[in-house]
């Protein structure tokens, strides 16, 4: 008899964004003429930069000619893109990451979800709360958690982000093997300092752990004194895997391109405590289960690093950061405590009431969609996330509607 993976039963029924969509649809059905402004799901709204589109078109034309047509590409990504990543994303920060330590992929979501496969099923995992839900759910599916009780899964060490610690979780007081970190953070928008990352890298080295460092929002960091990559920390290459994405950086959410860095010295241990390098394992996994990102998409991503591309991408980021500044300023002036929005497109707001009640209030009275913090974990209760991804005009309208509702 074929049996299903019963771990799936442990997953919480409603994925946050489907629940939001259901509530918005119900509201629209009841109020057919009413306009809604979405500052909820973290999807970008501006088109791809012109240089990316030009490179994309040109590469599609190459696919139309037998002489330049490309079939299967390297599973790890084309060298032309990996070299640019190595030079522009790392060398410019004084970090040496060689192109063959970079694995181009179709998304940081897939990679942060898939990476857990290369670790033992009895791995002790530390996950922040609040958190981007993918880290947790993929470990539930893999059977690394117990049951879900009182808002928490058994066998997970939750790293609590609270007002008291500025939503930057403290180091665990127990030994953990695998640590998920995300900076700039989704959902709170807080960023990591050098000191913080130094502490985590020290911890991982002492405890023989691995850090999974999700830097999908790195491009939004405005303060040049902050680390842009975990590899700016000495010793990090031995203990950290980093995830980056063109989704938010350059508008690739629908185009799909990202990458994961597994340094050659990054290690884990077998049951006899013998050391193994993770690079080969991830390479094996990718070669077995992944056939690479399409050539035109990688050409579009490569264009991000051209002179024009760097300017056009900065313009996109600046646009969203202007939205973030407006949201943060207006919510603060209404008397709501905010974090984030300075080096990230997310503003995390103390809603002073239950998250879903505040969500309903903004939806029903202002016609504005935010994201209830409780959907990101128990510590998110009493908070909402507002995202800067929309047009400036819509953000201006939204904050005015919110002001009218909350004054």
The residues that touch ligand PLP, with contacts defined as CB under 6 A, are: 42, 107-109, 112, 132, 182, 186, 214, 216, 245, 247, 253, 258
- Say how far apart CA 298 and CA 81 lie, in whole Å: 7
Cα–chain center distance at 243:
8
Task: Provide, rounded to whole angstroms, the least separation between the CB of residue 42 and ligand PLP.
Answer: 4
The answer to whether the beta carbons of residues 381 and 374 sit under 8 Å apart is yes
Residue with tokens 């007081």: 173
Q: Which is nearer to ligand PLP, 339 or 361 (CB)?
A: 339
- Name the closest residue to ligand PLP (Cβ): 107
The answer to whether the beta carbons of residues 245 and 258 sit under 8 Å apart is yes
Running DSSP on this structure, what letter comes out for residue 355?
Answer: H
Task: Provide, rounded to whole angstroms, the least separation between the CB of residue 122 and ligand PLP.
Answer: 26
Q: Which two tokens stand for residue 384?
A: 């909402």
Residue with tokens 């590469």: 59
The answer to whether the beta carbons of residues 82 and 103 sit under 8 Å apart is no
Q: Which is nearer to ligand PLP, 248 or 328 (CB)?
A: 248
Q: Could you tell me the maximum CA-CA distance found in the chain, to the nearest angstrom? A: 65
Task: Provide, rounded to whole angstroms, the least separation between the CB of residue 400 and ligand PLP.
Answer: 27
The answer to whether the beta carbons of residues 126 and 179 sit under 8 Å apart is yes
**Packed helices 295-302 and 50-63: angle between N→C axes, nearest 10 degrees:** 150
H/E element, 349:
strand 346-350
Q: Which is nearer to ligand PLP, 250 or 402 (CB)?
A: 250
Q: Which two tokens stand for residue 53?
A: 């589109």
Q: Which is nearer to ligand PLP, 183 or 358 (CB)?
A: 183
Q: Which of 378, 368, 316 is nearest to 347 (CA)?
A: 368
- Say how far apart CA 105 and CA 378 lie, in whole Å: 31
Q: Which two tokens stand for residue 356?
A: 């879903």
The answer to whether the beta carbons of residues 366 and 386 sit under 8 Å apart is no
Task: Provide, rounded to whole angstroms, the least separation between the CB of residue 346 and ligand PLP.
Answer: 9
Task: Provide, rounded to whole angstroms, the least separation between the CB of residue 217 and ligand PLP.
Answer: 7
Query: What is each CA distance from 81 to 30, 280, 289, 373, in whole angstroms?
Result: 49, 20, 21, 36
Task: Provide, rounded to whole angstroms, the least separation between the CB of residue 393 and ligand PLP.
Answer: 23
User: 3-class SS at 197?
Assistant: helix
Q: Which is nearer to ligand PLP, 16 or 156 (CB)?
A: 16
Q: Which is nearer to ligand PLP, 90 or 217 (CB)?
A: 217
Task: Provide, rounded to whole angstroms, the least separation between the CB of residue 388 and ligand PLP.
Answer: 13
Q: Which is nearer to ligand PLP, 85 or 361 (CB)?
A: 85
Q: Phi first, then psi: give them for residue 253, nearest 5 degrees.
A: -60, -35
Q: Which is nearer to ligand PLP, 227 or 367 (CB)?
A: 227
Q: Which is nearer to ligand PLP, 185 or 367 (CB)?
A: 185
Q: Which is nearer to ligand PLP, 86 or 245 (CB)?
A: 245
């Amino acid at each position: 008899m074929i049996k299903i993976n019963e771990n799936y039963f442990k997953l919480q029924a409603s994925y946050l964004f489907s629940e939001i969509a259901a509530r918005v649809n119900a509201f629209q059905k009841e109020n057919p003429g009413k306009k809604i402004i979405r500052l909820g799901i973290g999807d970008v709204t501006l088109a791809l930069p012109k240089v990316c589109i030009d490179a994309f078109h040109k590469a599609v034309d190459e696919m139309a000619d037998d002489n330049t047509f490309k079939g299967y590409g390297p599973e790890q990504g084309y060298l032309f893109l990996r070299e640019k990543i190595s030079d522009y994303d790392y060398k410019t920060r004084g970090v040496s990451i060689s192109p063959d330590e970079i694995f181009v992929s179709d998304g940081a979501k897939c990679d942060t979800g898939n990476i857990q496969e290369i670790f033992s099923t009895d791995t002790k995992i530390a996950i922040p709360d609040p958190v981007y839900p993918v880290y947790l759910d993929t470990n539930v599916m893999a059977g690394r958690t117990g049951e879900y009780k009182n808002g928490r899964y058994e066998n997970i060490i939750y790293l609590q982000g609270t007002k008291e610690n500025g939503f930057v979780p403290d180091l665990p007081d127990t030994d953990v093997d695998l640590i998920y970190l995300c900076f700039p953070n989704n959902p709170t928008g807080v960023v990591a300092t050098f000191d913080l990352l130094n502490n985590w890298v020290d911890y991982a080295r002492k405890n023989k752990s691995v850090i999974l460092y999700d830097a999908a929002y790195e491009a939004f960091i405005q303060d040049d004194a902050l680390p842009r990559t975990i590899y700016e920390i000495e010793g990090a290459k031995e203990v950290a895997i980093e995830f980056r994405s063109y989704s938010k950086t350059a508008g690739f959410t629908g185009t799909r391109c990202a990458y994961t860095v597994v340094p050659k010295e990054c290690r884990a241990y077998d049951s006899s405590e013998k050391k193994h390098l993770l690079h080969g394992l991830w390479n094996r996994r990718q070669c077995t289960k992944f056939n690479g990102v399409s050539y035109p998409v990688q050409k579009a991503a490569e264009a991000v690093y051209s002179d024009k591309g760097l300017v056009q991408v900065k313009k996109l980021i600046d646009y969203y950061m202007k939205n973030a500044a407006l949201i943060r300023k207006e919510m603060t002036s209404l008397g709501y405590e905010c974090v984030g929005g300075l080096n990230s497109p997310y503003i995390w707001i103390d809603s002073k009431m239950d998250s879903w009640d505040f969500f309903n209030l903004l939806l029903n009275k202002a016609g504005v969609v935010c994201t209830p913090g409780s959907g990101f974990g128990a510590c998110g209760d009493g908070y909402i996330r507002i995202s800067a991804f929309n047009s400036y005009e819509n953000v201006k309208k939204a904050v005015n509607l919110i002001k009218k509702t909350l004054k």
